[in-house]
Amino acid sequence: MKEKIYFNHDGGVDDLVSLFLLLKMDTVELTGVSVIPADCYLEPAMFASRKIIDRFGNGGLDVAESNSRPKNPFPKDWRMHAFYVDALPILNESGKVETPVAEKLAHLHLAETVLATEEKTTLLFTGPLTDLARALDAAPEIEEKIERLVWMGGTFREAGNVHEPEHDGTAEWNVFWDPEAAARVWDSSIKIELVALESTNQVPLTLDVRERWAKERQHLGLDFLGQCYAMVPPLVHFSTNSTYYLWDVLTTAFVGNPDLVKVQTINSIVHTDGPSQGRTVETAEGRPVDVVYDVNRDAFFDYMTELAKKA
């Protein structure tokens, strides 16, 4: 039987590529999709999501909008990426958008979908956890119907990826955007599987990967990957604040193929205030989370490339 997945994302290039790849996995069934305006603007991210489902899915889905708000907003330049994906000719060939916008807001859509699904649901989150925290407050009964949460978020290294005034650089962005939401989910009994910077640092966007997709662009899905990853800066000489990694795609690939990575259980807490807000810290008093800390880089790129070829 196929694993039931609910996907909440925040409209970045790798979030939208993740949606595409989920639609191509035959081991999973997407039960719902929602979009939070964190590392994106909501309107283009909603359109892009609906068009990706139209083009690469089999219908039957709607997409819910979140009205969640940040504690620490993302930089505008990064949020613009959703406009570029939404405008790709591959997604606009038909001239229409069929996948509907859901009537309910994202957190209520999540709760409703989880409760309406007979089996337990795996939650896949590739943006902040705000909608899950709100769903748990609005409908605590969903907790026992959640199989696990797979989240791109956090790090236990010294260096996070937040380089902002009044911060010490120890946080990962998806936690930093809404640290209280992460702490709320840490307080629940949900099994948490974290794809943290430890592993995503091992999958930067590099030129050899781009060249590989370019060479085989006669495959529609690889052309789509190539177009999407043309929008963001690769790692060439050294990593900067804007260097792009395949953060969310690794998280999504982990759901489809757990053999790609290594996992270790760590007891942790989330800092919600001060210059380290959004930092995840290992401590014996913390709650257990399963941390993906290592990945077979070549096997990962092979896996996602083969999946995309199915389009």
Residues that bind ligand AGV (CB under 6 A): 12, 14-15, 39, 78, 126-127, 152, 161, 172-174, 242, 244, 247-248
User: What are the structure tokens assigned to 92, written together?
Assistant: 């606009």
Closest by Cα among 49, 254, 52 to 149? 254
Q: Compare residues 21 and 112 and give the one whose CB is closer to Ca ion.
A: 21
11 contributes a contact to Ca ion by CB under 5 A = no
Residue closer to ligand AGV by CB (options 16, 311) is 16
User: Least CB distance from residue 165 to ligand AGV, whole Å?
Assistant: 16
153 binds Ca ion (CB under 5 A): no
Q: Taking CB under 5 A as the rule, which mask of x and - marks residues 236-265 in contact with Ca ion?
A: ------------x-----------------
Contact between 126 and Ca ion per CB under 5 A:
yes
Strand partners, 270: 280
Beta carbons within 8 Å of 216's beta carbon, 6+ residues apart: 222, 305, 309
Residue 159: CB minimum distance to ligand AGV, A: 12
The binder of 112, among Ca ion, ligand AGV, none, by C-beta within 5 to 8 A per type, is: none
250-289 exposure pattern, b = at least 16 Cβ within 10 A, e = fewer: bbbbbbbbeebbeeeebebbbbbeeebbbbbeeeeeebeb
Strand-pairing partners, residue 125, are 8, 151
- Per partner kind, with CB cut-offs from 5 to 8 A, the member of ligand AGV, Ca ion, none near residue 268 is none
Helix crossing, 13-24 with 42-56: angle to 10°?
20
**C-beta of 135 vs 249, nearer to ligand AGV:** 249
Residue 34, binding choice from ligand AGV, Ca ion, none, Cβ under 5 to 8 Å by partner class? none
Q: Which residue is nearest to ligand AGV (CB)?
A: 12
Letter string b/e over residues 170-183, b meaning 16 or more CB atoms within 10 A of that residue's CB: bbbbbbbbbbbbbb
Residue in the block written with tokens 């939650």: 123
Smallest distance, Ca ion to C-beta of residue 248, A:
5
CB 278 within 8 A of CB 270: yes
Nearer to ligand AGV by C-beta: 39 or 86? 39
Give the neighbor-by-neighbor strand order of the sheet with 28-35: 63-65, 28-35, 3-9, 121-125, 146-152, 192-195, 287-295, 261-270, 280-282
Rank residues 223 and 248 by Cβ distance to ligand AGV and give the closer one.
Answer: 248
12 touches Ca ion (CB under 5 A): yes
CB of 144 to ligand AGV, least distance (A): 27
For residue 247, give the 3-state DSSP assignment: helix
* Binding residues for Ca ion (CB under 5 A): 10, 12, 15, 126-127, 248
